[in-house]
Amino acid sequence: MCEPRHFDVRYAINPWMDAGAPVDRALARAQWQALVEAYRGHGHTVETVAPVEGLPDMVFAANAALVWGGRVFGSSFHAAERRPESAGYEAWFKEAGYEVHRSGAVCEGEGDLVPAGRFLLAGTGFRTERAAHREVQEFFGRPVISLELTDPRFYHLDTALFLLDEDSGEGDGTGGGNIAYYPAAFSPGSREVLRWLYPRAVIATEEDALVFGLNSVSDGRNVFVAPQARGLIDQLTDRGYLPVPVDLSEFRKAGGGIKCCTQEIRS
């Protein structure tokens, strides 16, 4: 994770961002700190990357890479404003002993790439390019399922879908675990793909999606989720998950939430 010391909204690269709108940085820092504590309180290890001045979106660590099986597929950001973030993250990975392969095509890491057990779900349409999906498949040697995003408010896959668990027995036995998602964020064909792969998925409403309820992190039991996503929280509880509400409302001004602030190191 990357402390939001320099967090701000200075440019607009998604519909949530209003370059003139003021950001309460003290509130953002307190909310971010509460997320760190929620992770630690539930037994997770949190490491941090040094924030860099002049990079207001660097707090969104999820976008920097995809780490899977101890291998790092580094991002090539879509927006010029975010490209310098790669250097800071790559330095962290090198220091931690990882080799980083940087994507040739535009790719925004876990923002659009979700490892789901035996395969990988990959979003495209606004940021990550289809050419990156092919690269990711070659790099990890795992099947990539391309999903088309069509609503600009849900410009990254992780704003419209998250993995609940890798193998809950809730899926159809394909080994992809189970997910929660907002169907209207996807093209008709991609919606069909998700319906076919995940017949028992948790289906979120537009209200839940608009408060970044799908920008959640699940460890298979605890689900770190926006408290405003009431309907989703009820559904998760009914399914036996333990919702852990963490409010990151200040980051919505930049189009981000819990998952955006979290890079998962899958060693």
Q: Which residues are catalytic?
A: 156, 260
Find the binder of ligand ARG among 114, 209, 246, 254 (CB under 6 A): 254
Beta-bridge mates of residue 82 = none
Q: Which is nearer to ligand ARG, 16 or 198 (CB)?
A: 16
256 binds ligand ARG (CB under 6 A): yes
Q: How far is the CB of 260 from ligand ARG (least distance, A)?
A: 3
Q: Tell me the C-alpha distance between 227 and 142, whole Å.
A: 34
The secondary structure element, H or E, covering residue 206 is: helix 206-210
250 binds ligand ARG (CB under 6 A): no
**E strand map for the chain:** 65-68, 71-74, 100-102, 113-116, 119-124, 144-148, 161-165, 178-181, 202-203, 217-218, 222-225, 242-245
Q: Tell me the C-alpha distance between 21 and 17, whole Å.
A: 8
126 binds ligand ARG (CB under 6 A): no
**E strand map for 142-229:** 144-148, 161-165, 178-181, 202-203, 217-218, 222-225
76 binds ligand ARG (CB under 6 A): no
85 binds ligand ARG (CB under 6 A): no
Find the binder of ligand ARG among 7, 32, 60, 140 (CB under 6 A): 60
What DSSP assignment string belongs to 8-26?
---S-SSTT--TTS---HH
13 binds ligand ARG (CB under 6 A): yes
Taking CB under 6 A as the rule, which mask of x and - marks residues 17-36 in contact with ligand ARG?
x-------------------
Residues between 143 and 162 with contacts to ligand ARG, criterion CB under 6 A: 156, 158-159
Q: Tell me the C-alpha distance between 116 and 178, whole Å.
A: 8
123 binds ligand ARG (CB under 6 A): no
Q: Which is nearer to ligand ARG, 29 or 153 (CB)?
A: 153
Q: Which is nearer to ligand ARG, 14 or 150 (CB)?
A: 14
CB atoms within 10 A of CB 19: 10
The secondary structure element, H or E, covering residue 243 is: strand 242-245
Number of residues that bind ligand ARG (CB under 6 A): 16
Please report, as ranges, the residues that interact with ligand ARG according to CB under 6 A. 13-14, 17, 57, 60, 62-63, 82, 111, 156, 158-159, 254-256, 260
